[in-house]
Structure 1
Amino acid sequence: MSTTTVTPLTTADAEVLITAARRAAEAAGATVSITVLDAGGHLLAFRRDDRAVLIAGETSTRKAYTALQLDAATADLVDLVKPDGPFHSLTTALDRPLLFIAGGLPIHRDGRLIGAIGVGGGAPEQDHSFTTTAVEALSR
């Protein structure tokens, strides 16, 4: 049996993610907050635009946490937690609140989950595109 060591998400990686998401948001005219968490759910980086609504900081963090805990894009989970969805009770199942709004994305390296990014402040579809742009920038 061989074990493969995967390099964890670093602060340099987090800067790449923050910069790419920020540039995408600026190009779209959105003011956002961006949260990057490591694989343990610990804050690695955070940035809030000066004009971003205050709640964007909370939503970006909850989106990142949700993407990390469920290893899925939050955009893919929205329908699952609706009242008739199979996971409708998941929104209140944990002590730490999850947020099922597009804008959270898990980050993988060599097939392993190493962290997550969340963006809040734009429309959900915009926030999702900003996280996608950031993760693509990291993989270059």
Structure 2
Amino acid sequence: MRKSHKLLKPLVACFALAGLSSTLQAEEQPLMVDIKRLSMESALTIAQATIDQCRKEGVQVAVTVMDRGGHPQVVLRDVLAGDLTLNISRQKAYTALSFNMATSDMEGRFTSPFSVGKVDGLVMSAGGLPITAGGTIIGGVGVSGAPSGETDEKCAQAGVDAISDELEMAAF
């Protein structure tokens, strides 16, 4: 009996390690993940449709379409849009992307002196929208240059709407 007892301990330890090993393997994360991104053509379609809508409104603007990493993918500035509109459209796109919500929904949200809204590069005024596909954020669009943020946002929405059906179909 003593001899079998000695063999039993290492056998139990082997089974315990095997169980632990399979548990660790089940919890491991993959080395890489697939991330959906806008094609350059899709980003350009959004930007051009945005400019077209603003022209219908009688205004000239700058539009920035960002990828999900927060990098500008397409930037267009209409002929008479001011230089400052480039920076503001970028910041609106980045803000909408970062918070996954329209920047108009953030107006007045961060009012304390040391709140998130005071971080450089964020703009909490209308004109920025997230770009989503299948419930996943894939980018952001920001518009600047119209007399009101509501017009900026209307133009941004026209840009997103220009490919929203295709984005939803491609998400699945």
TM-score range, shorter chain: 0.7 to 0.9
Q: How does 1:51-90 map to 2 (within 5 A)?
A: 51-83=80-112, 89-90=115-116
**TM-score, length-scaled by structure 1:** 0.88
Structure holding more helix per residue: 2
Unaligned runs of 5+ in 2: 1-32, 166-172
Identity of aligned residues (%): 33
User: Following TM superposition, by how much is the alpha carbon of 1:61 offset from its aligned partner in structure 2, in angstroms?
Assistant: 0.3
Q: Deviations over 1:65-108 (max 9, x none)?
A: 0001111100000020235xxx9711224xx4200110000000
> 1:91–1:99: 8 Å Cα contact kept in structure 2?
yes
CA separation of 1:32 and 1:67: change in aligned 2, threshold 3 A: same
- In the alignment of these two chains, the number of paired residues is 134
- Which is higher, the Rg of structure 1 or of structure 2? 2
Cα distance in 1 for partners of 2:105, 2:43 equals: 23
**Unaligned stretches of 5+ residues in structure 1:** none
Q: Distance in 2 between matches of 1:60 and 1:71?
A: 16
**Correspondence 1:1-140 to 2 at 5 A:** 7-83=36-112, 89-93=115-119, 96-122=120-146, 123-140=148-165
Give the number of the structure with larger relative contact order, counting CA–CA contacts within 8 Å between residues 6 or more apart. 1
**Contact map agreement 1:91 1:97 (CA 8 A) in 2:** no
- The alignment's TM-score, normalised by the length of structure 2, stands at 0.72
Across the aligned residues of Structure 1 and Structure 2, the Cα RMSD in angstroms comes to: 2.1
